[in-house]
């Protein structure tokens, strides 16, 4: 897995890290805390190794081929995985991870009609 991540292909690295985080979360749901912690450490180490191996590690390279922050990647994977879990498993995982519910998406307000009802 580490060699896959160190390829410096951000899409491959990102997908691999999502799989590691998903395994961590599934272990947490199953009560396998030691295995979950191992996956968490592996994911963090792989993320750090990828970021450290960026060419010259400049801000431009980080933006172009870097990975999102690990916390963001973990949160994204939580929401992706939770949509595939039973509601009880998703709620349990959300609770043990301390993930806050997503804010509901509110539509933009309707603009006021122009004076005169919009008729000319």
Domain presence at residue 48: yes
What's the pLDDT at 66? 84
Domain presence at residue 109: no
What's the pLDDT at 48? 92
Number of domains in the chain: 1
- pLDDT at residue 118 greater than cutoff 60: no
Q: Which residue has the higher pLDDT, 21 or 119?
A: 21
What's the pLDDT at 90? 94
Domain presence at residue 110: no
Domain presence at residue 19: yes
Domain presence at residue 106: no
pLDDT tens readout for residues 9-24: 888 889 999 999 999 9
Q: In a 10 Å sphere around its CB, with 0-12 CB exposed, 13-18 middle and 19+ buried, how is residue 5 labelled?
A: buried
Domain presence at residue 64: yes
What's the pLDDT at 83? 93
Query: What's the pTM?
Result: 0.76
Domain presence at residue 53: yes
What's the pLDDT at 77? 96
Domain presence at residue 117: no
**Could you tell me the pLDDT band of residue 107, with boundaries at 50, 70 and 90?**
low
Domain encompassing residue 54: 2-97
């Amino acid at each position: 897995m580490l060699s896959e991540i160190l390829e410096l292909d951000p899409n491959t690295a990102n997908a691999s890290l999502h799989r590691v985080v998903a395994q961590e979360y599934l272990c947490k749901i199953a009560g396998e805390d030691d295995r979950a912690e191992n996956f968490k450490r592996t994911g963090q180490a792989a993320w750090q190794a990828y970021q450290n191996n960026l060419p010259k590690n400049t801000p431009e390279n980080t933006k172009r081929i870097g990975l999102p922050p690990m916390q963001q990647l973990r949160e994204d994977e939580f929401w992706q995985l939770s949509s595939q879990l039973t509601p009880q498993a998703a709620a349990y995982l959300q609770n043990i991870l301390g993930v806050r519910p997503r804010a509901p998406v509110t539509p933009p307000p309707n603009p006021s009609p122009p004076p005169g009802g919009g008729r000319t």
